[in-house]
């Protein structure tokens, strides 16, 4: 399942990327553009806007109305509605731009990360689109705690 989060769901979008799910963020465009993107890319549209939800649904697009404002409740809803169990893609996708990350070694990232990180970490992942570098620990304990709480891992 691929997702398309509307403007009001930026945080949820980022968290679905943490979990490894292909999620695009839509902002600044018209409802018609949102609909078209969802259809062309075969994405489940996620929206917090009931008017938009009804409109999209009536036009036959795949759409899910997110019922909650809180992040944990939103994640739980997604987990239950789409029966999400597989978290093997966790932290393998760029949370900024949604691209899949590539494995990188110390040599590759040496000019891209602070010296302290270079000395203490040896596994890195790199986004070839926005050039962000990730390493173990760059996703805070807090993020893991929330994921574990929601998914009972
Ligand atoms: Zn990126």
Evaluate whether 64 touches 46 at the Cβ level (below 8 Å): yes
Contact 20, 88 (CB under 8 A): yes
Provide the domain count of the chain: 2
54 CA → ligand 1 middle, Å: 32
Note whether residue 92 is domain-resident. Answer: no
Question: Does 26 share its domain with 69?
Answer: yes
| pTM for this model (two decimals) | 0.93
Q: Are 19 and 63 contained in the same domain?
A: yes
Of 9, 49, 52, the C-alpha closest to 27 is 9
Using the mean position of ligand 1's atoms as its centre, give its distance from the Cα of residue 55 in Å. 32
Q: What does the pLDDT read at residue 153?
A: 62
Q: For all residues of the chain together, what is the average pLDDT?
A: 94
Is 144 among the domain residues? yes
Q: Is residue 12 domain-resident?
A: yes
Distance of CA 8 from the midpoint of ligand 1 (Å): 21
Write out the residue range of the structural domain in which residue 114 sits.
102-151
- 8 A C-beta contact, residue 46 and residue 4: yes
Measured in residues, the chain has a length of: 153
What is the spatial distance between Cα 8 and Cα 130, in angstroms, rounded to a whole number? 23
Q: How many angstroms is it from 96 CA to the middle of ligand 1?
A: 5
Percentage above 70 pLDDT, the chain: 99
Q: What is the Å distance from ligand 1's center to 109 Cα?
A: 15
In angstroms, what is the span from residue 4 Cα to ligand 1's centroid?
17
Among 88, 66, 81, which residue's Cα sits nearest to residue 11?
66
Residues 29, 16 contacting (CB under 8 angstroms): no
Residue 133 CA to ligand 1 centre (angstroms)? 9
Question: 104 is written with which tokens?
Answer: 């990188």
Helix-helix angle 71-81:141-151, to 10 degrees: 40
At 16-56, the pLDDT tens digits run 999 999 999 999 999 999 999 999 999 999 999 999 999 99
Q: Taking 80 as the threshold, does the pLDDT of residue 140 lie above it?
A: no
98 alpha carbon – ligand 1 mean position (Å): 6
Predicted local distance difference test score (pLDDT) of residue 74:
98
Residues 77, 11 share a domain: yes
Indicate whether 34 belongs to any domain.
yes
Q: Tell how far CA 60 is from the center of its chain.
A: 24
Q: What is the pLDDT of residue 137?
A: 79
117 part of a folded domain: yes
Could you report the per-residue pLDDT of 100-132, keeping only the tens digit for each? 999 999 999 999 999 999 999 988 999 999 999
């Amino acid at each position: 399942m691929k997702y398309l989060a509307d403007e009001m769901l930026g945080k949820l979008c980022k968290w679905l990327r943490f979990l490894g799910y292909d999620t695009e963020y839509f902002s600044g465009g018209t409802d018609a553009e949102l609909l078209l993107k969802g259809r062309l890319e075969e994405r489940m549209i996620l929206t917090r806007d009931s008017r938009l939800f009804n409109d999209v649904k009536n036009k036959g697009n795949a759409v899910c109305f997110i019922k909650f404002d809180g992040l944990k409740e939103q994640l739980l809803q997604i987990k239950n509605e789409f029966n999400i169990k597989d978290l093997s893609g966790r932290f393998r996708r760029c949370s900024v731009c949604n691209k899949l990350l590539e494995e990188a070694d110390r040599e590759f990232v040496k000019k891209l990360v602070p010296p302290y990180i270079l000395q203490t970490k040896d596994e890195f992942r790199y986004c070839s689109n926005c050039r962000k570098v990730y390493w173990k620990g760059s996703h805070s304990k807090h993020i893991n705690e929330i994921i574990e709480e929601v998914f009972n891992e």
